[in-house]
Amino acid sequence: MKEIIKQPVKEILTDDNFQQQKSGNLFSSAIGKYVIVRTRNEGINFGLLMYANENGCVLNEARRIYYHRPNDNALSWYEGVAQSGLSESSKISNEVTKIIVEDYSITICSKEAVNNIREKKTNEQS
């Protein structure tokens, strides 16, 4: 189990982008990547991280995920969405540019998840 947990961290720490930016702030390695941002008030959002610091972040192509299940049933929570994308039953908004100013966490998405979420049809209001 410990090896599974350590693997993603090893990949991030050896990533060329991280090595070039490690002199920057904690968020530097995630800039320019598709991420899921979780907040208390803004909920769960997917998008391209353009800027981040201790006060907030900016997402381009931001889409609020307001009902989510991972595409892979063996996974759970929004971390599972970041790894496998959204299931058919999930609900997501249209794209906007979003400035989030509050406490938040960032989860970097896999290529599989990025492709899945970007292609997900916007949920229409009923």
pLDDT per residue as tens digits for the range 101-124 = 999 999 999 999 999 999 999 988
Rounded CA-CA distance 93/95 in Å is 7
Kindly report the number of other CB atoms within 10 A of residue 46's CB atom.
30
Contact assessment for residue 107 and residue 30, using Cβ atoms and an 8 Å cutoff: no
What is the reported pLDDT for 2?
A: 38
Find the mean pLDDT for residues 74-100.
Answer: 87
| CATH number for the domain whose boundaries are 29-119 | 2.30.30.100
pTM for this prediction: 0.77
The residue extents of the domains of the chain are 29-119
Q: What is residue 79's predicted lDDT score, i.e. its pLDDT?
A: 82
- Decide if pLDDT at 4 tops 50: no
Cα-flanking dihedrals φ and ψ of residue 68, to 5°?
-140, 140
Residue 9 has pLDDT above 70, yes or no: no
Q: Is 60 exposed, middle or buried (0-12, 13-18, 19+ CB in 10 A)?
A: middle
- Look at residues 39, 88, 89 and name the one whose alpha carbon lies nearest to residue 62: 39
Q: Would you mind telling me the total number of residues written for the chain in this entry?
A: 126
Q: Per residue in 18-62, pLDDT tens?
A: 444 445 678 888 999 999 999 989 899 999 999 999 899 999 999
Alpha carbons 124 and 105: distance in angstroms, whole number: 27
User: Quick one: pLDDT band at residue 11, thresholds 50, 70, 90?
Assistant: low
